[in-house]
Amino acid sequence: MVLNALRKVLEDVQPDSVAVASGSDGACEGTLACSTCHLIFEEHIFEKLEAVTDEENDMLDLAYGLTDRSRLGCQIYLTKAMDNMTVRVPDAVADARQAVDASKNS
Amino acid sequence: MAPRCWRWWHWSAWRRTRPPPAGSTPSVWQQFSTQEQGPQICVVGSGPAGFYTTQHLLKHHPRAHVDIYEKQLVPFGLVRFGVAPDHPEVKNVINTFTQTARSDRCAFRGNVVVGRDVAVSELQAAYHAVVLSYGAEDHQALEIPGEELPGVFSARAFVGWYNGLPENRELAPDLSCDTAVILGQGNVALDVARILLTPPGHLEKTDITEAALGVLRQSRVKTVWIVGRRGPLQVAFTIKELREMIQLPGTRPMLDPADFLGLQDRIKELPRQRKRLTELLLRTATEKPGAEEAARQASAARTWGLRFFRSPQQVLPSPNGRRVAGIRLAVTRLEGVGEAARAAPTGDTEDLPCGLVLSSVGYKSRPIDPNVPFDPKLGVIPNMEGRVLGVPGLYCSGWVKRGPTGVIATTMTDSFLTGQMLLQDLKAGLLPSGPRPGYAAIEALLSSRGVQPVSFSDWEKLDAEEVSRGKGAGKPREKLLDPQEMLRLLGR
Answer whether residue B483 is part of any domain.
Answer: no
pLDDT-derived band at A11 (thresholds 50, 70, 90) equals low
Could you list the residues of B known to form a binding site, using ranges.
49, 70, 78, 114, 185-188, 229-230, 241, 399, 406-408
pLDDT digits (tens, 9 = 90+) for B201-218: 999 999 999 999 999 999
In a shared domain, residues B130 and B145:
no
DSSP B53-76: HHHHHHHH-TT-EEEEE-SSSSS-
Contact assessment for residue B183 and residue B357, using Cβ atoms and an 8 Å cutoff: yes
Mean pLDDT confidence for B430-456: 97
In a shared domain, residues B174 and B305:
yes
What three-state secondary structure class fits B394?
Answer: strand
Structural domain range at position B79: 40-137+364-454
Could you list the residues of B known to form a binding site for FAD, using ranges.
49, 70, 78, 114, 399, 406-408
In a shared domain, residues B302 and B404:
no
Query: What is the number of structural domains in chain B?
Result: 2
Q: What is the pLDDT of residue B36?
A: 53
pLDDT-derived band at A80 (thresholds 50, 70, 90) equals confident
Of the residues B335, B361, B387, which one is the last residue of a structural domain?
A: B361
Answer whether residue B27 is part of any domain.
Answer: no
Spatial separation of the C-alpha atoms in residues B357 and B182, rounded to whole Å: 6
Strands B106-109 and B310-317, bridge-based pairing: unpaired
Q: What is the pLDDT of residue B330?
A: 98
Spatial separation of the C-alpha atoms in residues B384 and B214, rounded to whole Å: 47
Mean pLDDT confidence for A23-50: 86
Give phi and psi for B188, each to the nearest 5.
-70, -40
CA distances from B126 to A89, B40, B110, B132, B369 (A): 39, 8, 18, 15, 17
**Interface-testing mutation among A16, A20, A58, with chain B (most B C-beta atoms within 10 A):** A58
Interface contact flag, B407 A62, Cβ < 8 Å = yes
Nearest Cα to Cα of residue B162 among B203, B123, B190: B203
Structural domains present in chain A: 38-90 (3.10.20.30)
Q: What is the pLDDT of residue B446?
A: 98
In a shared domain, residues B299 and B169:
yes
Interface contact flag, A102 B427, Cβ < 8 Å = yes
pLDDT value at A43 more than 70: yes
How many C-beta neighbours within 10 Å does residue A42 have? 13
pLDDT value at B14 more than 70: no
Q: What is the pLDDT of residue B406?
A: 87
Chain B residues lying within 8 Å of A21, measured CB to CB = 55-56, 59, 412, 416
Who wins on pLDDT, B112 or A101? B112
CA distances from B272 to A15, A66, A67, B286, B340 (A): 29, 10, 11, 21, 17
In a shared domain, residues B148 and B240:
yes
Q: How far is CA B333 from the centre of its chain?
A: 32
Q: Where are the alpha helices (DSSP H) in B145-246?
A: 155-162, 187-197, 210-217, 239-246
Q: What is the pLDDT of residue A16?
A: 67
Q: What is the pLDDT of residue A84?
A: 87
One-letter identity of residue B307:
R
In a shared domain, residues B199 and B309:
yes
Answer whether residue B390 is part of any domain.
Answer: yes
Q: What is the pLDDT of residue A5?
A: 56
Interface size A-B, in CB pairs within 8 Å, comes to 94
Q: What is the pLDDT of residue B159?
A: 98
Of the residues B361, B381, B402, which one is the last residue of a structural domain?
A: B361
Contact assessment for residue B481 and residue B167, using Cβ atoms and an 8 Å cutoff: no
Q: What is the pLDDT of residue B447?
A: 97
Answer whether residue B239 is part of any domain.
Answer: yes
In a shared domain, residues B73 and B47:
yes
Mean pLDDT confidence for B182-187: 98
Mean pLDDT confidence for B278-304: 94
Q: Where are the alpha helices (DSSP H) in B236-384?
A: 239-246, 263-266, 272-286, 291-298
**Interface-testing mutation among A20, A31, A52, A100, with chain B (most B C-beta atoms within 10 A):** A100
Nearest Cα to Cα of residue B411 among B45, B68, B86, B75: B45
Interface contact flag, B96 A22, Cβ < 8 Å = yes
> Would you say how long chain A is, in residues?
106
CA closest to B272 among chain A residues: A61
pLDDT digits (tens, 9 = 90+) for B132-141: 999 999 999 9
Spatial separation of the C-alpha atoms in residues B230 and B336, rounded to whole Å: 11
In a shared domain, residues B162 and B203:
yes
Who wins on pLDDT, B36 or B146? B146
Answer whether residue B308 is part of any domain.
Answer: yes
B210-217 helix and B155-162 helix, angle to the nearest 10 degrees: 110
Spatial separation of the C-alpha atoms in residues B245 and B226, rounded to whole Å: 12
pLDDT digits (tens, 9 = 90+) for B268-279: 999 999 999 999
Q: Where are the alpha helices (DSSP H) in B117-253?
A: 120-126, 155-162, 187-197, 210-217, 239-246
Q: What is the pLDDT of residue A1?
A: 39
Q: What is the pLDDT of residue B354?
A: 98
In a shared domain, residues B357 and B368:
no
In a shared domain, residues B301 and B349:
yes
Mean pLDDT confidence for B255-261: 96
pLDDT value at A27 more than 90: no
Mean pLDDT confidence for B325-335: 97
Mean pLDDT confidence for B40-47: 98
pLDDT value at A100 more than 60: no
Who wins on pLDDT, A77 or B87? B87
CATH of the domain at B415: 3.40.50.720
- Write out residues 58-97 of A within 8 Å (CB-CB) of B: 58-59, 61-62, 64, 66, 92-93, 97
Nearest to B409 among A24, A35, A55 (CB): A35
CA closest to B95 among chain A residues: A23
In a shared domain, residues B132 and B242:
no
Mean pLDDT confidence for B80-99: 96
Burial class of B6 by CB neighbour count within 10 A (0 to 12, 13 to 18, 19+): exposed
Answer whether residue B262 is part of any domain.
Answer: yes
pLDDT digits (tens, 9 = 90+) for B370-427: 999 999 999 999 999 999 999 999 999 999 999 998 889 889 999 999 999 999 999 9
Q: Which has the minimum average pLDDT: A78-82, B115-119, B221-225, B355-359?
A: A78-82
Nearest to B239 among A23, A35, A58 (CB): A58
Contacts of B111 (CB under 8 A, 6+ apart): B70, B71, B72, B73, B451, B452, B453, B454, B483, B487
Of the residues B309, B344, B361, which one is the last residue of a structural domain?
A: B361
Nearest Cα to Cα of residue B398 among B31, B2, B53: B53
Answer whether residue B464 is part of any domain.
Answer: no
In a shared domain, residues B47 and B180:
no
Mean pLDDT confidence for B247-259: 96
Spatial separation of the C-alpha atoms in residues B365 and B219, rounded to whole Å: 32
Chain A residues lying within 8 Å of B95, measured CB to CB = 23-24, 29
